Structure 1
Amino acid sequence: MHKRKLAQVSFTTLLFSVVTVAICFVVALLMIPAYQGSQKALSEEIRMLHQHNQRVLGYMLEQQLSNIARMSYEITQKSELRASLLANDLLSVQMLLDDSVQGSSGEKIDLLIVESTAGKQAASTPFALFGLNIDYKELTSRPAMPEQWSSYSTADGLSLLKLKLPVVHPGSGRVLGYLYTCVLVNDNFWILNEIQTISGTDAVAIIHNGLPLARLTDHAQQDISVLKADMQQQPFLKVDGGVLFEYQIPIADHDYSIRTLQPDTSLQMLKQAYIGRLGTTALTVLVVSLLIFYILRSLLRSSLHRIVQYAEQTASMEQEQTYPGNDFKEFSRVGQAISEMARLIKEREHRLNAVIQNATGLIAIKGTDLKYQTVNTRIVEMTGRNDMIGLSDKEVFSESFANFLQSTDRLVLESGQPCQYEMDLAGKDGIHTYLTSKFPLKNEDGVVYALGSIATDITEQRKDQQRLELTSQVFQNTAEGIVIFDEQMNCLLCNKAFTELTGYEQNNAGTIGHQLLKQGEIKRAILARNNWQGEMLQRRKDNSAFPAWLSVSAVQSTPPTHTRRYSLLKSEQQQAGIQYVIVISDISQLREAQERLVHIANYDAITGLPNRSLFFDRFEQSISRAARNGQPLALLYIDINQFKQINDQYGHQEGDQLLKECASRIRDCLEQGDTLSRINADEYLVLIENSGRAHNNAEQIASQIVNQFRTPFLTHLDDDVHISASIGVALYPSDGDETQTLFTHADVALFQAKNSSSHFQFYDGSVNEQAEKRLILERGLKKAIQSDDQLTMHFQPKYTVDGCKMIGTEALVRWIHPDEGFIPPDQFIGIAEESELIIRLGRKVLQMSCRAAKNWLDAGYTVPVAVNLSPRQLLDQHLLADIDQALQESGLPVEYLELEITETVVIEDIDRVISILKQLRNKGIRISVDDFGTGYSSLIYLKRLPVDTVKIDRSFLEDVPGDPDDESLIRAIINMSHSLGLQVISEGVETEAQQRFLQIEGCDELQGYLLSRPLPEKDLLALLQTTEEALPAGNNHSHL
């Protein structure tokens, strides 16, 4: 019996058969998802087509509306339209609008309306709107932002796009009216045609709020497919006849739905191509896989598995691992290459991460899904979040900021180009400005796979730039000439004012620098304290000279310690250098006015003799010399009798001539070295210094002067005028060793001389009735200050320069003695100033003035009052407390009080006075300078004083108009004060001619008997009630 041999199957054949069946099974399993994938790919193609058309349609509508807006703007710029609106010629406006919509440029505009500021309208002929019910008034009255498109819908389904543009007058900037441009969306052919042209569709429809506004179809079936289809919130839908697309397009301030029906021929072909390629690919994969498997199965399996395993381990491990080797040299080289590549990648990643994390700017990397992949520590510190990886901007920042960031991200992703912009970010230490650069990250195929951003803080650079621009503007526009030199006297910079002052340009300005720094005084000051300032005669380029105030400063230009400059070849340490800054001011007019004022302040305007101030200055010097040399002096106090009667009888001009003749006759009796001064209207002082003529010659000179006055004076009418002179004599040192004592004693002697037959009298201490009377007057004033009924206040109104409006008051104190009656201020003010009573008197006047102003304010009249401060009161340590107490007790607001100072007190202690005035100004109190021009020694100090007003003394106005010198002086004071930003008031206005002169010269305010005499408080209130005029707080002046 034979045994049947069992057929043997080789392992290779079995393995090949098993693998073949497995591959066929796998291919069959892959066919289903592959087919599904092809369907998804087809859907993706349709979606991408939808997105493309969405962007194109949006861009098309935006461009068309932009073109219409540009044409509308051109209409608003037409001069004919502005002229017609100004002339209210609506017919011309309508004709202009009709012309504007004619032709191809206006065929896309359905309606133009112009509405004037008065509400009148003119519209173009609306050919496209015939038969439609549109209310133009309602159309224009609907709120709309200018220069932006907005939607307008009517109740019967009409939808219009509206653009509002202003028509502006080019000269004044005034809005003359508005132009309304309207586009009808309903059945708008050019919009439908553009959509159909761009998308290549068979049918188009525009839908808003579920209602069809416009459609373009070939037949009713397409109409039904387009309008009736339920899109189920999908961007496209397969319907009979093709694919229906729906686009949401924002037009103006509303979203509109645009539906297009496209034929599906191309899509069917694409679908067949997908399926055909899928089958071919599956068969090819099957055959090739079997072949490769059969050939390489044994050759590659072990080696390839080892390399793959190493590569996977290397990618997942943080530490490097050396490739263990392979049976094949090629596989070993591949493994080694993978090992080296992994090492280099990790090193590069470490370096890049160190740069990103340690950079001072804000660095981030986002994927194409706009989610963060990398952020550095600066961003984490600023946001306070360390979980930003994997989040989008909307999950980290506010909605508005996130939208802004993502809009710039999309711009970079879509364009593939970098962009740069500035933005302000608020941090813990304030708002910082960042320069942000965004750029695409592309692979080797040029495809963007991520985007990076770097934001650099440029806050300080922006501030430096703004400061530099401001400094440049100030430098170029300042009135003073400024020039800057280096150590070699090369001109680095000069402004326009410097060139105008000196005639030198930047290329030849070094001449001035060399001239100045060669002068010893300037050079020593620069070396000692790095600056010098002073007055000098400066020469221009044409060799003409002008008085100038110069400031020269040496400035060290030290480089920043944290920077270092390098060239390409070697390091260059920045060197510190010296720069010279020179500031030049032309003080020609100031110097001329100052010299004039100095002369006026020290010399009598009528006789040309030294005035009281200059005389007593010389008197003090003479006493000092006499004390050193042991020599006697004689002081003669001369009073002209009957002068007032003659002055009243013949007039001021004749009186002035008489004073000059008196001075001449007195001077004829003196010798060289004697000093003659006019101190009052009819009073003269003579100082005799010759030691050999003290008593005897003083008597001789006094006798000669008396005899000179025995000869009659001749007037211009050839009338003989008889006057006499009374002389009081005081001797140094027998009658006193101080100027005031000798003057007082000479005054006492003068009083005695008026009753003497010789008309002159030496001082006799045993007969001092005048001193006793003065003492009695001082005691009475002390009681008057303590009482409540002896001192009263009068107020003289102050007016605008035209005299039409009262704007304030000047307060004057009056003393009604219980026995003597009215005592003029000039009799007791001087006594008060020479004693401590002036402080108490000033305090009482301040309190009474504040109460009066508060009473007027309660009555409804805002009349400020100003109080004069005497020299002692201004420097009194309790002044601020006295002012606060007066304001608090009266309840007067501080803005209704003004304080007035005299020139003489300022110059005595300028720095202390400025400090006190600044404290008063800080309280809100206005300051004015009284009797300006009668005693001030330098106009330069006026720039330093914190004052508001300058008052021209009445003595300057006595011969105005008519006296050219006084007119020039007043004009100079007004111009100078205005140039310093100060108000000017003139006192003592008594004639209309004086008022007209001051008004022409630009004086701001007036006061004087021409306008009103001083009035008691109640009388002034009655005057206010008659005028019934509310008075604003302003510049007002007052005197004790």
Structure 2
Amino acid sequence: MKLSLFKALGIIDCCIFKRVDVNQFEAVYAEHEWLDILLPGTRDKQFFKAPTGSPFLDDFLMQAEEFWEFADYGKIESGIWNESIADNELKLNAFATMESGDFYLIINNVKQQFQERQQTLQSARELLLSNDKIVAQQEYVHQRLDEMLNQSSDLKSIQQPITEVIEKTEVGVAILTPNLKPISQNPALYSVFDSHLTAVESEPYRIILALFEKQYPEFERVISTGSRWSGELFWLQPPGNGKWIKLAIYPVKTDFQQITHWVFIVNDISQVKHLLQNNEKLTHYDALTDIPNRQYFWMQLEQSVNNAMPFYVLYLDIKNFKRINEIHGHSRGDQIIKELVERLTPHVSPGDMFARIGGGEFAIIRQKTVTEQQCVDLGNTLIDAATQPFYLPNGTHCEIGLNIGAASFPRDADDAETLMKFADLAVFNAKKASKSSVQFYSQALKDASQRIIELESALQTAITNHEFELFLQPMLDLTSGTILKAEALLRWNRLDGERIGPDEFIPIAEQTGLIVPIGKWVISRACEMISTLNHRGHSCKLSVNLSPRQISDRHLLEFIRGSIQNSHIQPDQLELELTEGVLVDNYDKVQYLLTEVRKLGVSVSIDDFGTGYSSLSYLKKLPIDHIKIDRSFVQDLVSDENDKAIILAIIAMAHSLKLNVIAEGVETELQRNFLQLNHCNLAQGYLFSRPLPFAQFCDYLNTTVSSQKQITPSALDPK
């Protein structure tokens, strides 16, 4: 061993021993004082024997003897261990190796390197915490600008307050038109790009757009769908220095989801990145989860493409992760991310790569030859693992979902960027479903996505074009046959004559936020119908459905109150229907809303009861008047004893809580007779009537009233 070079460079803090016999070692280089702590007297005698009195070193020497006996080349490593003797503490690492037929033991003192590494990690953690503050600051600036930009359609009238906000903030801000033309860029944005702007690229927003489009395959999807986005961009400055930029993109939209402005918020995070690049592991691995990061993932993806062997990419997206951070804070969100990775990692094959490529986004490269069905099976396994509750330190728990998009190389694409673009499209489509799912890219999926984009655009003008219509499906008292109320069901008749079913357009409206203005139109129209029915001498309550997005609308209560007053109807003629999922996901908001609407006199019904969470706690705590048995139980109640038992249990439970019961999907006399015999209060279904346009519903009411006597209020009491 050529020790002179190591000594001259001063790069070793180790002791080197040559094995002269079994468990006997001669010192080749043993000049460091810390050896006196580990192996007292060795520096003077220039040799030592095992056992040494150090349990960890003795254990490693046993492994080394076996290695030297059977191996022909290479080395083995002990890993870092602590050695505490008296008041002294060492951090050591040992190697057993061989050279020219001789065997060597090398013991490194890695305390200094360990401390430097810990300092690096701590600095990284501190910078990552400051990065969270950057995210919070970006969100604050976005909210301020969003409020201002939504206050007035006339940008000139709010130009001054906007200028004051963005010029005083330390983050870079660009406000753009819907077609990405600049309106305003603050000084902090220019300082991010400082003096390196060229004459051609004289404005920062041009650089940002170019970098985003070049470095992220989701650029096209984000812009075309008007989505929020955040990520990191790398800008190579002349003559060769690099700068890292954190970018957050926020679309500002009207109630009808038409983009009025884009807000780009930018931070220079080069300091964080340069620190990470000083540590190879931190460069390629996520600091929070210790799995490969986006940079390492893309390196591996490019390599997999170059290998030209078939493989799959799975793109994993945590459902509603932003809401978790908002409710529980970023630190709790980080803990959930770490626990999720711990759950998912055991299910990923050792030959596959599992990486974190965004805040709540992960990706898997399935290197081995697998089938599409095996990818589906893996996806479903990961979804099952992710949907188990996460328990927080305060004793509460939260639940998350996982959407997965997948694409195949080379079937779907033969380059890394397009492959990820298609996987991103697949996961974006998976988000449309209410439940977690696995979606594979296909031409049909691409066509379906184009259809969704086209329908979303058409939905934005459907109200102003008077394309919506409310159909009414009556609910009858099972004792008297009298129509007591009806459910308002939305229909969409496009100007080109195409009729779009609610199963197709409601999820799009919910996903995009268009459900909020559409839902307000439904409430307003239902109140107008009640008023018309009153003038025609019919006393019939109408029930309208509320979606999760509507519950989060802080103006909903005020709008309901205003609609009732403007239509001059009694509040008890309007009813709100909510699903069980809405109750659980937005419990606090639901509790406040239902309490306030009940004060107005509006009644409340729980829709699709029995298919969701079916918790007795919310039935007891929330102000509820009716529960609706889901049609899936009614459909087979005559032939299925389990459905019979469930329905009987629901009726008994509801009546004990002084709630009325409504059965959906009644289609046969046998179903009606069973429900009537067991004291179900009301029923709706094709046996009585399909959903009807308003004029036909009025005719149906006239026919029914002429053949039935008026029901007394006592008929609604639970029996």
In the superposition, the TM-score normalised over structure 1's length comes to: 0.29
Larger radius of gyration: 1
Which structure's relative contact order is higher, taking Cα pairs within 8 Å and 6+ residues apart?
A: 2
TM-score, normalisation: structure 2 = 0.41
